[in-house]
Structure 1
Amino acid sequence: MGILDRILRAGEGKKLKALEGLVPEINALSTSMTALSDDALRAKTGEFRQRIERGESLDDLLVEAFAVTREAAGRVIGQRHYDVQMMGGAALHFGWVAEMKTGEGKTLVSTLPAYLNGLGGQGVHLVTVNDYLARRDAEWMGRVHKWMGLKVGLVIPGFKERPIEKRAAYAADITYGTNNEFGFDYLRDNMAPTLDDKSQRGHNFAIVDEVDSILIDEARTPLIISGRLADAAKLYYRFASVVRSLKRDVDYEVEEDKRIVVPLEAGIDKVELALGVANLYDEVQQNLVHQLQVALKAKELYKRDKDYIIQNGEVKIVDEFTGRVLDGRRWSEGIHQAIEAKEGVKIKEENQTLATITLQNYFRMYDKLGGMTGTASTEAAELKNTYGLDVVPIPTNKPVGRVDHADLIYKGEAGKFDAVVEDIAERFERGQPVLVGTISVEKSEHLSRLLTQRGVDHEVLNAKQHTREAHIVTQAGRLHAVTVATNMAGRGVDILLGGNPEGLARAQVLKEGHSADVMVDDFALSLPLEEMPEDFQSAR
């Protein structure tokens, strides 16, 4: 009986035991793999591909391919997969969600199914939540794949965006990128005038990091490519001015739970008087009703530093789940222009939708889908119903040392924040590193002000510090470090107790006056790192 048959026949409650059963078979090959020379180990890729051509399936190769990947990772990046990581890798290959606790090495786990499925030549997409992680993983884990003879591509905004370059990235055996960029490239392909202008070659297998965030939290978020319509800036400014004088519950009513604003008779009369029109609802004036609606919504339903921030004179949307700025995204139907008018910044031309798709519909196109996260059990039913994905909890390599305390409930927000500040200050004095999660940019900045008043040095990690995100998180484990973050900002970046040595070294190099350009990654080099001169590699 083949491996896949054995696993699938195991039944829902026995999947974990079935995965555990694969580990001894993989471990049995460790000695023979260790005995191979570098050339002999790399030659395994060609051997596996020949066996696929002769009719063997990827499932038939799983045990050997995983053993080869583990040995290669140990030699190239100095990291050898643990047994539980082998189980996680197998779960991904079978198209499941591997639930692995924070710090269990999900990034390393992804190399196993990526290498195995990359052998098939139909493409594997490694999907991460932001540009930093995509670039980091492509450089870091990509070294293992390139050493083994596979081609690695990277698709992120602003990096090799010409169609011919995009095609090369998607033609690679393994392609790293962000969920949004994969989706936007699909939309751009659907708008391409010729086949030569298309970049993607199909949707074979996707491994989604932080799968609950991408496939559940952001699933309904539409990716939109827009084109410009005629400018109506003056009208937006006029209505923004008019609605400032209108009073809630007197001139209009608001149903915040339904995101609805309804003008009342008194308010309509005031608007007609201000605009000098007899009847706002005349057929000729129908657009004015829409303008009034969006101006009122901008005033009541969209809050600065919660739903959006003002950055460099622009209104930028803040993701309600991650607290990150959604660069390039704009609210539709005139909402964005109404907010720009409300804030008094320059209004960009109104857009019309040319192509759109939700992340949910995009990822359902893949022939096979797998995912990793530390928090999937609570979303297990939705992942199963929407995507047909089973969640498999993978045990930790060592017992969890973290102590989880019960929640504390306070009568009011002020009391809660006072208690939080006191607790942080006490731990700060002891030197204990503290990471504080908040639900919005607004709350993070409020807590920051309270900590400043208390004399506690800290870093704030939210949409406004997106470019410094990785550096802040990597140093959050240093003595006396206090880091205030939105609920999911910095996800996927390791916090090492004592600080991250590489991050500290990079910061020191920059401090000494060296340009950031000298600290490039493999994707900025004219040749892969392994093909550069030895002096360059050692200096690297």
Structure 2
Amino acid sequence: MFKRVMEKLQRSSIESDLKPFKRTLTQIDSFSETLKSLCDDELKAQLQSLCASISPPMNIPTQVKIFAFVSEISNRLLGMRPFDSQMLAGLALHDGYIVDMKTGEGKTLAAAAPVIVNALAGRKVHVLTFNDYLAKRDSHFLQPLYHFFGLSVDMIQAGMSGKQRKKAHACDIVYATAREVGFDYLRDQLVHYKQQKVLSGLDVAIVDEADSILIDEARIPLVISGDIHQNNDQLTHIATVIKQLDKTNDYAVDEFSTSVHLTESGSRKIEQQFGCENLFDIDNLPLLTSVNLALHVEVLLVKDIDYIVKDNSIKLVDEFTGRIAEKHRWPDGMQSALESKEGLPVKKEGQTLGSITLQHLMCLFKKVSGMTGTAVLAAQDFEQLYRLKTCVIPPRKPCIRIDKPDRVFSTKAEKIIAICNEISLIQRTGQPVLVGTPNVRESENLYALLVEKGIECCLLNAKNDEQEAQIIAQAGALGAVTICTNLAGRGTDILLGAKDTASNIQVKKAGGLHIIGTSRFESRRIDDQLRGRAARQGEPGSSQYFVSLEDKLFNHLGQGGLLSGKSDTGELLSNARISKKIAHGQRVLEGADLDRRKALYKYSDLVEQQRQMIHQLRNDILLGEGAEQFKSKVTPRWQSLSTVVSDEKLNEALNIVVMHAIDKLWVQHLSEIDYIKEGINLVGTAGTSFMLSGNEPYHVFVQQVQQVFEQLLAELKTVVVDLFNNLAIDENGINPNSELFAMTKSTSSYVVADNPFDAVDRQFIASIWKKLKLA
């Protein structure tokens, strides 16, 4: 009974009744039939007449007609008439759903109709893609369609100038990554003149790969920082000393390899090297911090798994896509410690000027919808985090992929041998094989073994992802073997036969693309995304996962009672219990991740509320409103300057002074919050249960953060008066080279990667693993 109730509650976040959309689709099809007989000029004239009659909000009959026009015009301009499944997906997107639409079903074209309907209704539409490549590809592909409707479209790419960004954001439709939109939003909070702003509003967002953007990256902060150099002279010396420590006696690692600490012997060696009596004395806190960071990155971060070294710098790897995670940096000095470990130039650590999480950024849009191939497994997250329901769109053709049972082995070595043998057997049949690995190191090791066995194959990972298009183009060729890190969010179809018609037929006869996963991921969604590369649009295909009891997942799940009954190759003869344990572990971890996101959201939400308050005040000043409350405080100086400086220039100077004071105090506020986070004992004897139940540490955090925010507001007028009274102001106003502009003159943007050594996360994850082991 309880199980049925829970299943019903879980289903409540998923909409599978498509009858209302199908009724609308019937109306669309009916009107679309009347358009087919029109010549291009007649079609355009009728469309212009319809568009001229639109007055927001757009009524339902007009929406139906626009969808029909999109269908007909897409067929004429692009040679592609949207299938019913794509039109149903478009209707669901327009109604604000997260659409579950399997990979290969044409999500790009499905989004066109809702984008056009919203844009014609006078709403600014941002289509948020997973990466710059998809933003460029999709905007260019649909540009002729949008232009036919009289709509402007552009894209945002990393590295664009402010002028280019402003031009793009001025269009009716903008394609960009959520990160680039977030960085533009943060930069707009720092400008001193309204004409410097690039964003023209956040209204409607349609999100591609919605689970990756709205869930996997939801709590990751986007940061704008000022380039302020910090002294890193000691870091290289510290890294050298740490490398010389004895791993047996000088430090200890916890059972989950998530934490390391110096032993008494290690502490003595550090004290001798740096000439301090007590490393743990308060006066030695900076040294202790640097030593701990160096120890963590030396012992716990593994090259080619957690990061790679490319172009003489540290590159983080996105665990979901296998690509280099551009602009991602580890926080709290960890990036600098890692650069020292690898003997690389230590880059500047910037002072944070502004920050926002992707989850809070998405909440700034008035309307959000999205699409992905694995929405059902994340439906609960979408509803609880964003109040968005998930709508399931059946595939145009039934999926005939054969998902074979997992093959489970005792050790990784036995598993890899079996994978190599399996690839060798399959390649002889001509069936192409795509092998998905969890990290760069494993992909390279497997590639080397296959080459040694004389098996011709291609390798795609973060070290050569610039060759992605070329490698993927051949991955479906007859007999091809492609080794890659995870392929989620790459937006590229693998064509059977690699565009060769004769080979296409042969590959289909051989069984289509075969997927091999070299280990299970902690999320079922990532498993399904890899599988989804095969058997698209009704084509044949197959998949199978190879698992070992030494994989990361099993290191934490435990192996109790699983080793009974195995073959000479180390393969377990009965894996039903193991499959059940994997499924259970993945469900527990997914639930734990949701709890963690919700709990951490509580902490970031308070700061976000304060940020919105302070930046609303700043924006009012930027627009020439709200400065009057400060004017009376600087009356004597104002009067003395008014004889030589115009009121216009004085008002401009006061506005700039107020905005600078706000920025200065906000930067200090962010630093204070970091100190509060460090100072509160977030992890108590109950693990992270306080985060879920709202116990004392959270209340202390709220109390202290509110206190420092009130101090900020109280100090603002004093800081404004001091700045204005001591600032050089002449008939031209403030000198453009004034220190007031220095803080924001040179800025950089980056994404704060999850800190693998964060105390809260570490204890949270460890407590979950322990529960799984006991299950």
Scaled by the length of structure 1, the TM-score of the pair is: 0.86
Task: Return the alpha-carbon distance in structure 1 between the equivalents of residues 476 and 402 of structure 2.
Answer: 17
Tell me if 1:74 matches 2:79.
Answer: no
> How many residues of Structure 1 are paired with residues of Structure 2 in the alignment?
489
Output one character per residue of 1:377-409: Cα deviation in whole Å (capped at 9) or x when no partner: 111100111011111110111122222222222
The CA distance in 1 between the partners of 2:15 and 2:278, in whole Å, is 66
Alignment partner, residue 367 of structure 2: 368
- For 1:174-228, what per-residue CA distance to the aligned partner results, in whole angstroms no more than 9, with x for missing partners? 1111122111111111222221111112221111111111111121222122223
Any idea what SS the aligned residue of 1:409 has? strand
Residue deviations 1:16-57 (CA, integer Å, cap 9, x gap) = 22222222111111221112232333345543443332x552
Cα deviation for residue 59 of structure 1 reads 3.9
Measure, in 2, the Cα distance between the counterparts of 1:322 and 1:163. Answer: 29
- Report what 1:302 is aligned to: 301
C-alpha separation between the residues in 1 aligned to 2:47 and 2:124? 15
CA deviation digits over 1:496-538, x for unaligned, max 9? 112147xxxxxxxxxxxxxxxxxxxxxxxxxxxxxxxxxxxxx
What 5-or-longer segments of structure 1 have no aligned partner? 1-9, 502-540
Q: Distance in 1 between matches of 2:459 and 2:103?
A: 21
Residue in structure 1 matched with residue 143 of structure 2 by the alignment:
142
Q: Distance in 1 between matches of 2:45 and 2:234?
A: 67
CA distance in 1, matches of 2:52, 2:332: 55
Aligned to 2:291: 292
Secondary structure of 1:386's counterpart equals: helix
Alignment partner of 2:403: what SS?
Answer: coil
* Distance verdict in 2 for CA 1:245–1:74, change over 3 Å: same
Say if 1:436 and 1:485, in contact at 8 Å, map to a contact too: yes
Q: Please give the alpha-carbon distance, in whole angstroms, between the structure 1 residues aligned to 2:59 and 2:339.
A: 53
CA 377–289 in structure 1, closer or farther in 2 if over 3 Å, else same = same
Q: Does the Cα contact within 8 Å between 2:15 and 2:390 map onto a contact in 1?
A: no
Distance 2:123 2:57 in 1: 16
Which secondary structure does the structure 2 equivalent of 1:406 belong to? coil
1:485 shift after superposition: 1.7
Match of 2:106 in 1: 105
Task: Output the CA distance in 2 between the equivalents of 1:107 and 1:13.
Answer: 22
Q: Give the drift of 1:84.
A: 1.1
How many Å separate the matches in 2 of 1:258 and 1:51? Answer: 65
- Give the alignment partner of residue 23 of structure 2, picking from 15, 21, 24: 21
Cα gap change, 1:253 to 1:61, in 2 (>3 Å): farther
Please tell me whether residue 86 in structure 1 is matched to residue 87 in structure 2: yes
For residues 293 and 326 of structure 1, the distance between their equivalents in structure 2, rounded to whole angstroms, comes to: 25
Tell me which residue corresponds to 1:183: 182
SS of the residue corresponding to residue 191 of structure 1 reads: coil
Q: What is the aligned partner in structure 2 of residue 220 from structure 1?
A: 219
Matching residue within 45, 50, 53 for 1:51: 53
CA distance in 1, matches of 2:282, 2:13: 63
1:66–1:153 Cα change, 3 Å: same
Q: How many angstroms apart in 1 are the aligned matches of 2:255 and 2:364?
A: 35
Distance 1:490 1:87 in 2: 22
Q: Is the 8 A contact 1:207 1:370 kept in 2?
A: yes
Higher mean alpha-carbon deviation, 474-483 vs 206-215, is at 474-483
Map 1:172-321 → 2, pairs under 5 A: 172-248=171-247, 250-255=249-254, 257=256, 259-321=258-320
Letter in 1 for 2:242: V
Q: Partner residue of 1:62?
A: 63
1:106 positional shift: 0.9
2:631 paired residue number: none
Q: Does 1:450 align with 2:449?
A: yes
- Gap change, CA 1:56 and 1:340, over 3 Å in 2: closer
Secondary structure (helix, strand or coil) at the match of 1:435 reads: strand
Q: Which residue of 2 aligns with 1:380?
A: 379
1:114 corresponds in structure 2 to 115
* Structure 2 unmatched runs, 5+: 1-11, 501-775
Which range moves more in the overlay, 26-35 or 75-84? 26-35
Q: Deviations over 1:221-251 (max 9, x none)?
A: 2212222333433211011011112234632
Offset from partner CA, 1:281-340 (integer Å, 9 cap, x none): 344332101111110111122211111110011111112222211222221211011111
- What are the superposed Cα offsets for residues 355-391 of structure 1, whole Å, 9 maximum, x if unpaired? 2211111112211111111111111100111011111
Greater mean alpha carbon deviation, residues 118-127 or residues 376-385: 118-127
Distance 2:227 2:257 in 1: 29
Contact 1:45 1:119 in 2 (8 A): no
Asked if 2 retains the 8 angstrom alpha-carbon contact of 1:470 and 1:490, the reply is no
Alignment RMSD (CA, Å): 2.1
Supply the AA of the counterpart residue of 1:262: H
Cα distance change of structure 1 residues 498 and 135 upon mapping to structure 2, 3 Å threshold: same
- Give the whole-Å Cα distance in 1 for the aligned partners of 2:25 and 2:33: 14
